Amino acid sequence: MSESDVVTPGTRIGSVDTHISGRGTYTRDGRICASVVGRVVTKDVPNQDKKIIEVESKQETTVPQIGSIVLATVVKTTTQFAKVDITCVEGKALETTFMGMIRQQDVRATEIDKVVIYESFRPGDVVRAVVISLGDSKSYYLSTARNELGVVFGTSMAGQTLVPVSWKEMECPKTHLRELRKVAKTI
């Protein structure tokens, strides 16, 4: 774990074998974890082999909260979910990205059983979504189940910026081929 990394609560940052738990941390099962959002800092302790490890928190650090509207880039798709990097929260760009997940059941509000992730999102798409749960310690759960949520920017197979033509299709301006997406309604 680098000292420049921003960590969130629950992130493992060290071990009690090599460090002493300091401010902004807690220990569990021999591991030292962050208890606040902030940057990892280590400090020397006189006459000891171990260093103190702390998390320094700044009040202005923006993190996704339940109900926050976020922009995220799709990193990977599976049959069950789309993995994303959250880059913007409520219009504010983040210093570091947070991992998120859009599960199959959270893509749209109707016909949930008919959702095919690869027909909704592709790697590289930029998606507007809402945070519905803090998820596990590794990622936030996001939803695009409202009309104004979904893909806001996508690139066609020809490398062109896709243009929305319906709530579930975007078109390449060069080839005029249509590609399936869960398209965000423009606000």
Q: Where in the chain is the domain with CATH 2.40.50.140?
A: 69-180
Report the distance separating Cα 76 and Cα 27, nearest Å.
32
In this structure, CATH architecture of domain 6-56: Beta Barrel (2.40)
Residue 180 makes CB contacts below 8 A (sequence gap 6+) with 119, 120, 168, 169
Tokens 């460090």, residue located: 19
109 has pLDDT over 70: yes
For residue 178, what are the CA distances in angstroms to 20, 23, 160, 161? 57, 53, 12, 12
Amino acid at 173: P
Domain with CATH 2.40.50.100 in the chain: 6-56
Measured on CA atoms in the order 181, 185, 186, 187, is the torsion positive or negative?
Answer: negative
* Span 117-153, pLDDT tens digits: 988 999 999 999 999 998 776 789 999 999 999 999 9
Express each pLDDT in 156-178 by its tens digit.
888 888 999 988 899 999 999 99
What is the mean predicted confidence (pLDDT) over 67-94? 92
Q: In this structure, are residues 73 and 85 in contact, taking their beta carbons and an 8 Å threshold? A: yes
Higher pLDDT, 68 or 45: 68
Q: Taking 80 as the threshold, does the pLDDT of residue 68 lie above it? A: yes
pLDDT, residue 3, reads: 57
Each residue of 14-54: pLDDT tens digit?
A: 999 999 898 888 888 889 988 888 889 988 888 888 889 99
| 69-180 under CATH 3.40.50.300, yes or no | no
**Contacts (Cβ under 8 Å, ≥6 apart) of 48:** 20
Residue with tokens 């893509």: 107
Say what the pLDDT of residue 61 is: 62
Beta strands in 6-144 (DSSP E): 6-7, 12-15, 19-21, 25-28, 31-34, 38-43, 51-56, 69-77, 81-89, 92-103, 126-133, 140-143
